[in-house]
């Protein structure tokens, strides 16, 4: 498989998987379950060029211009990076014959990023320890990332079927 084809498929899988996760988050939101605020992700990323990587409480940090758009862009770029991780681990041949287990496992494993990087840097502590319901938040994060993994598989199957 040519490298530009692998890159293109990987990008589309990352976008597709992220969209599946977004559909899940929309469903949760409509059911009254708290979900991720991408404006706050954008605020966090927007402070990085200013040298600020960690906050006591990102919600109390100064807003940044276009933070909602920046948050959504970051969300999708990270989804593509996670798809690239899957393809790097499984090899490009996986793209032609995707299997569910590696995709779901990688998706679930990506939960380490919010647990050990984003949440502490945004003021929620490791494993959401500074939130009102750390266990509930961690379980919700794990479910969200597992759905993302399912999205990796579904997007890969859709692309493999279209090829």
pLDDT bracket for residue 85 (50, 70, 90):
very high
The residue segments making up the domain with residue 44 are 3-162
Do 22 and 15 contact (CB within 8 A), yes or no?
Answer: no
Do 36 and 25 contact (CB within 8 A), yes or no?
Answer: yes
Tell me: the pLDDT tens digits for 2-35?
889 999 999 999 999 999 999 999 999 999 998 8
Cβ neighbours for 105, distance < 8 A, ≥ 6 positions apart:
149
pLDDT bracket for residue 70 (50, 70, 90):
very high
Distances (CA, A) of 54 to 48, 97, 161: 9, 41, 43
| This prediction's pTM | 0.95
pLDDT of residue 34: 87
pLDDT bracket for residue 37 (50, 70, 90):
confident
pLDDT of residue 1: 67
Within 10 Å of residue 1's Cβ, how many Cβ atoms?
Answer: 12
pLDDT value at 36 more than 90: no
The number of folded domains in the chain is 1
pLDDT value at 46 more than 90: yes
pLDDT value at 95 more than 70: yes
DSSP for 91-110? -THHHHS--HHHHHHHHHHT
Distances (CA, A) of 110 to 23, 35, 96, 161, 163: 18, 17, 23, 26, 28
pLDDT of residue 105: 98
pLDDT of residue 2: 84
Do 7 and 83 contact (CB within 8 A), yes or no?
Answer: no
- What percentage of the chain's residues is helix, strand, coil (to nearest 5)? 75, 0, 25
pLDDT bracket for residue 69 (50, 70, 90):
very high
Tell me: the pLDDT tens digits for 100-147?
999 999 999 999 999 999 999 999 999 999 999 999 999 999 999 999
């Amino acid at each position: 498989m040519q490298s530009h084809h692998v890159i293109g498929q990987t990008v589309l899988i990352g976008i597709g998987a992220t969209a599946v996760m977004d559909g899940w988050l929309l469903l949760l939101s409509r059911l009254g379950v708290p979900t991720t605020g991408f404006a706050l992700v954008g605020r966090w990323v927007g402070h990085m060029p200013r040298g600020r990587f960690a906050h006591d409480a990102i919600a109390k940090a100064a807003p940044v211009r276009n933070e909602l758009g920046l948050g959504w862009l970051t969300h999708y770029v990270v989804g593509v990076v996670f798809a690239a991780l899957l393809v790097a681990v499984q090899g490009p041949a996986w793209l032609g014959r995707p299997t569910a287990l590696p995709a779901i496992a990688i998706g679930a494993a990506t939960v380490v990023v919010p647990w050990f990087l984003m949440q502490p840097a945004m003021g929620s502590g490791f494993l959401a320890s500074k939130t009102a319901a750390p266990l509930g938040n961690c379980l919700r994060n794990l479910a969200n990332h597992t759905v993302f993994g399912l999205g990796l598989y579904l997007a890969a199957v859709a692309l493999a079927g279209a090829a």
